[in-house]
Structure 1
Amino acid sequence: MSKTTRKTIPQETLLLIKSVSFLVLIFGIVPLTSFLIWLFMPSAVLNVVVLDKTVPNESAQEHQGIHWTLNHLKYLKYDGSPYDTSTDYFGYFPGSTIDEGKIADFNTIDAEMKSRLLDRSSLVYFADTYGVYENDFGQDPDDYRSQKIYGGMDQADVDFMAAAIEKEKFIIAEFNTMASPTPIDIRMQVEELVGIKWTGWIARYFDELDTLINNELPRWMVDTYIQQHNGDWSFKGSGLVFLHEMGRLEILESGLDINKDVPSIMSDQKNQKRYGIPEIVKYPYWIDIVLVSREYDVISYYEISPTESGINKLRDMGLPRFFPAAVSRNLGEKGKFFYFSGDFADMRMNDTSHRFYALARLYRLFLHAEDYSQPTSFFWNYYYPLFKNILADAGKEVEVLGN
């Protein structure tokens, strides 16, 4: 462009051109480059079996993060095709009404097919066994708990897990695998099989317990506490709600019973380096409190920073000072069992966004590990790198393919 031409173009127009050019670079060239890099990355066959009984709608958010990660890292099924969130799992398959829902779990395949499935698979993931309930299809799904349609671990699930352990596969199980509505006899089999015992307690952080301010508090929770504690619900501010399988409900108040508002997931330096996870990440969702045998490596644990009052309440509930968050143990020479005491894979994703290289790195630039106000922060800062490294270990002997 000549000096004469420049003089004829207003300064405002030049600034606009520069701004538009910058936007084209950011929103055009960068995404295109990211997509092309991803497109030409090599793929690898890594068959993963997923069980998810908690799929009340097509979002499938209890296992969507699993499939997104597999597709983002270009892992393929045994037949060479990518993973489909809507079909590539066992469990409950929802319809638009209760009557249209279908069940396709381990009870629907014979022993020979189960054996073949395990032989060609590297990892088995028990994502969520809580199930589907009648009011999942109603207008007020978060209100009082309702009649179960389908859910809980059964004998076929235990047998499949036992077979996977015997074949020394990689196995991941998450929050609620052993908890309600799994029958007690099934739970005891799982506990003995994996060396983990559920205490009967689950817990969750609420940022506001004042019912006048927070109208989203579950009514059953408030009513249950009032019935058990002489009609008293005078809480203000945040706190941790503890619920026992027998119905007992206790609350640790922030400032009185706990020093920190939100539970922190803490990881030591060895596991930070091993799995690429941060030292501290906030986790404000439901957790189950378990006890693990000595053969387990504690990857991460929950820190709630209880005061003396809080420690006394924990002691009264029969609970320890610290709770395991993620643990692992070896299965023979080749396999490994992991347990996550939280809904770690629970995440709503854009099914097409997995096609962009380094997307996880970009998210971590903007989402701080201790910022729990962003629901995606936990996924990108903790779950994704942890699962990515587990997949890398599970797939060490898999076939790498060209693009």
Structure 2
Amino acid sequence: MKKPLIIVIIILVVLLALPVINLLRWTFQTKKPLDIFIVDKTVSSFEREKHKSLNWILASDRFVKKENKTSYSYKKDYYGFFPTRPKKAKTWDRREYRLANVIEIADSIDAIYFTDTYGVFFNDWYQGINKSRRSRKLYGGLNNTDNFLIKEMKDRDKLIIMEYNSFDYPTSEYDSYRIQERLGIVYRGWTGKYFTTLDTLSEDFPIWMTAMYRKQFKKPWTFTKPGVVLLRDRSIIVLEEGIHLNALPVEIVTDSAYCAKYNLPETIAFNEWFDIIDPLSNNVISNFRIGTTTIGDSLLINYGLDNLFPAVIQEPDMQRTYYFSGDFTSANVPVWASKFKGVDKLKGIIYSKKPDDFRRFFWLYYKPLVNGIFDDYYNSLTEK
């Protein structure tokens, strides 16, 4: 047999063997039993993209249910909105916990993660019918039962993680105030997002923003470049690249101590929705930084805002309550890949070196952060 052919065969064998080896490495990895309560009220498709990436991380790191030692299913193991088949029928169900069961739940589970509580609305479920900002709510919002469960979990010093839009509509003002008080933060009322284009003809552009802009400024929407839009009630701020923004409009910046602790990059681009909070006495692990120009800074100052505000905060005493001020779980990751040890080492395939490649956020920031939080918590429980 010719030498070049032998080399080709060896390479093919190695390429075929690597996935099997990595699957076996994952299979025999030590399991970490931890009962985690996942709440996702924003499940407008069968992809369940608002919590699937969390399940990916839990499966990859071998966190399993205590009862049967199996991985968490992103299709079944959560509370919230459940689309039901057939898809065309547009039927749905919901899985909820009752106020009467909160004490029992808080006693029995180890951690709770609210991945998204915004909910599902008529426009989301019946797409293409209406393009208004808000439509009739089908299901969603933090409620009194959620609030009570968070209180009971905090009283027991158990792990709590919450994400963006836990305070704004459709959560009631009363429940929003109570949860802010419980977390020791103040919600400033502003939400925002970076858009790769502000052209109204682009796909999935929220056309209702143009009506808000016209109503507030009495002039038409003429923005077409990339930009950041900030919203509060009936107010809108548009920061356009080249005028108000520099090259990297929204980044997450992390202090060196937390970079070392969680293996995080100093900066990472972010392109999902975020909200603006005052952390008060909480530890700030990371901040959002909007890359504003002098003109952009002046515009923010006019509204009492700064270009730097918290992205991840941690309760300072027991350090077991976290709030992520962005839509961190929205990452389209293939679930099957979670069962291959070392898949995150495939740089260049799963993400590129370009700073504006938003796939980098999951692999370089969200995954190591969540891994670190859960690993620290699990180790603290097993060391008792």
3-state DSSP class of the match of 1:103?
Answer: strand
How far apart are the structure 1 equivalents of 2:136 and 2:51?
Answer: 23
Partner residue in 2 for 1:386: 369
Q: Select the residue among 280, 290, 294 that pairs with 2:267.
A: 280
C-alpha distance 117-238 of structure 1, shift in aligned 2 (>3 A): same
- 1:127 and 1:174 in contact (8 A); partners too: yes
Partner residue in 1 for 2:145: 156
Question: Is 2:323 the counterpart of 1:357?
Answer: no
Partner residue in 1 for 2:166: 177
Partner residue in 2 for 1:289: 276
- The CA deviation string for residues 3-33 of structure 1, in whole angstroms up to 9 with x for no partner, is xxx5xxxxxxx6466445423422x111111
How far apart are the structure 2 equivalents of 1:106 and 1:127?
Answer: 16
Tell me whether 312-321 or 168-177 shows the greater mean CA deviation.
312-321
Q: Select the residue among 256, 281, 291 that pairs with 2:243.
A: 256
> What 5-or-longer segments of structure 2 have no aligned partner?
none
Tell me whether 252-261 or 321-330 shows the greater mean CA deviation.
252-261
Partner residue in 2 for 1:271: 258
How far apart are the structure 2 equivalents of 1:31 and 1:343?
Answer: 31
Tell me whether 58-67 or 256-265 shows the greater mean CA deviation.
256-265
Q: Select the residue among 148, 154, 163 that pairs with 1:165.
A: 154
C-alpha distance 240-389 of structure 1, shift in aligned 2 (>3 A): same
Alignment of 1:45-60 (within 5 A): 45-60=33-48
- 1:48 and 1:122 in contact (8 A); partners too: yes
Letter in 1 for 2:296: G
Letter in 1 for 2:269: K
- 1:131 and 1:152 in contact (8 A); partners too: yes
Q: Select the residue among 223, 245, 248 that pairs with 1:235.
A: 223
- 1:142 and 1:218 in contact (8 A); partners too: no
Alignment of 1:295-306 (within 5 A): 296-306=282-292
Q: How many residues align?
A: 379
Question: Is 2:90 the counterpart of 1:102?
Answer: no
Letter in 2 for 1:236: T
Partner residue in 2 for 1:9: none
Question: Is 2:332 the counterpart of 1:348?
Answer: yes
Letter in 1 for 2:346: L
- 1:45 and 1:399 in contact (8 A); partners too: no
How far apart are the structure 1 equivalents of 2:321 and 2:218?
Answer: 44
Alignment of 1:1-400 (within 5 A): 1=1, 6=2, 15=4, 18-26=7-15, 28-79=16-67, 80-95=69-84, 96=87, 100-107=91-98, 110-111=100-101, 114-140=102-128, 143-145=131-133, 146-211=135-200, 214-244=202-232, 246-294=233-281, 296-332=282-318, 336-363=320-347, 367-368=351-352, 371-373=355-357, 375-398=358-381
- The CA deviation string for residues 345-368 of structure 1, in whole angstroms up to 9 with x for no partner, is 122332222111011232488635
3-state DSSP class of the match of 1:62?
Answer: coil
How far apart are the structure 1 equivalents of 2:226 and 2:349?
Answer: 28
Letter in 1 for 2:361: F
3-state DSSP class of the match of 2:246?
Answer: coil
How far apart are the structure 1 equivalents of 2:362 and 2:348?
Answer: 10
- 1:97 and 1:137 in contact (8 A); partners too: no
How far apart are the structure 2 equivalents of 1:301 and 1:142?
Answer: 35
- 2:249 and 2:291 in contact (8 A); partners too: no
- 1:240 and 1:251 in contact (8 A); partners too: yes
C-alpha distance 99-216 of structure 1, shift in aligned 2 (>3 A): closer
TM-score (norm 1): 0.87
- The CA deviation string for residues 227-253 of structure 1, in whole angstroms up to 9 with x for no partner, is 222222222312111111x22111012
How far apart are the structure 2 equivalents of 1:17 and 1:100?
Answer: 57
- 1:278 and 1:369 in contact (8 A); partners too: no
- 1:133 and 1:148 in contact (8 A); partners too: yes
Q: CA deviation at 1:271?
A: 0.6
> What 5-or-longer segments of structure 1 have no aligned partner?
7-13
How far apart are the structure 1 equivalents of 2:130 and 2:248?
Answer: 23
Tell me whether 354-363 or 387-396 shows the greater mean CA deviation.
354-363
3-state DSSP class of the match of 2:114?
Answer: strand
How far apart are the structure 1 equivalents of 2:353 and 2:314?
Answer: 22
C-alpha distance 392-208 of structure 1, shift in aligned 2 (>3 A): same
C-alpha distance 144-33 of structure 1, shift in aligned 2 (>3 A): same
How far apart are the structure 2 equivalents of 1:147 and 1:231?
Answer: 29
- 2:248 and 2:269 in contact (8 A); partners too: no
How far apart are the structure 2 equivalents of 1:265 and 1:57?
Answer: 28
Q: CA deviation at 1:139?
A: 3.9
How far apart are the structure 2 equivalents of 1:392 and 1:135?
Answer: 39
How far apart are the structure 2 equivalents of 1:164 and 1:98?
Answer: 38
- The CA deviation string for residues 116-162 of structure 1, in whole angstroms up to 9 with x for no partner, is 33233222111100000112233438933421101111000100011
How far apart are the structure 1 equivalents of 2:348 and 2:179?
Answer: 36
Higher-Rg member (1/2): 1
